[in-house]
Amino acid sequence: MPRVICAGHVNWDVTLRVETLPDPDGEVAVDSRRSGGGGSAANVATGLADLDVDSGLLGSVGDDEHGRTARAELADAGVDVDHVLTVPETETTTKYIIVEPSGEVMVLGCSGANESFAADDLPESALADADHLHMTSQSPETAARLAERARERDVPVSFDPGRRIDQRGYGPALTSVDYLFLNDREAALALDAFDLEAQTLVLKHGPDGAEIRRGEDRTAHPGYPIEVVDTTGAGDAFAAGFIAASVGGANDHRALAVANACGALASKAPGARTSLTWDDVRAFLGE
């Protein structure tokens, strides 16, 4: 079984569904509220475990009820949490995710423990056993050092820097990895600021599907028409599908088809995590 390590945020998510976003100084009613573990790295690790990939997680939580519950949820999902640090006297990072009827989201984040881990918290033996390292939003210094360590071990690295790509010094990490997962906004910022000719770009176009760019080569997949319920975690499900298919030997078009299916399945359900199975994916693909 392929071994993938995910490194990045482990959060506690509070999702609020509303009829509309309030105007400044306004107020709207909350239609529903749900809480559970989140964070991009944790979401991808869970998706990989669902898709029969041996997944481990490097991250950090606080020494509180939310941190303990988040760890327990991940372990129950089949994720190796041996390298998730518990930070004393620090709260687990909480994200408030507000979802409107179209499925689009806005996020309010509270600072906490999720960037307390360092690159050296991943033992050399764990990295040596990995077939792939996937990084999500985290300290730029940690991301760059993790990429460097993986490169020394010839472990392929992917990076999904997330929506704050233009607010953090991710340059050394972006230009050191093998695969970059970017949405249209992130790609516009990154391609304008960095030389990414050496990286394989996995570009997410939302309802218009996705594509892979390797230099001048392009592989595209149109995606699937669905009724969107909640886009929270859809990019993480996409990444899990792409990585699971790729480490399993799929070609680019197949990897994109699986990734788009996983992203679509996540968008059809509320919350940051959707149970992914190969049976569900194949049924979605009409196989």
Which one of 236, 252, 279, 280 is the catalytic residue? Answer: 236
Cα separations (Å) of 72 from 95, 134, 281?
19, 21, 26
Is 217 among the residues known to form the active site?
A: no
Cα separations (Å) of 147 from 22, 95, 130, 174?
41, 27, 13, 9
Is beta strand 179-183 parallel, antiparallel or unpaired with respect to 157-160?
Answer: parallel
Q: Does residue 34 contact residue 270 with C-beta atoms inside 8 Å?
A: yes
What amino acid occupies position 209?
G
Q: In what order do the strands lie in the sheet with 11-18?
A: 30-38, 11-18, 94-99, 105-109
Q: Which residues are catalytic?
A: 236
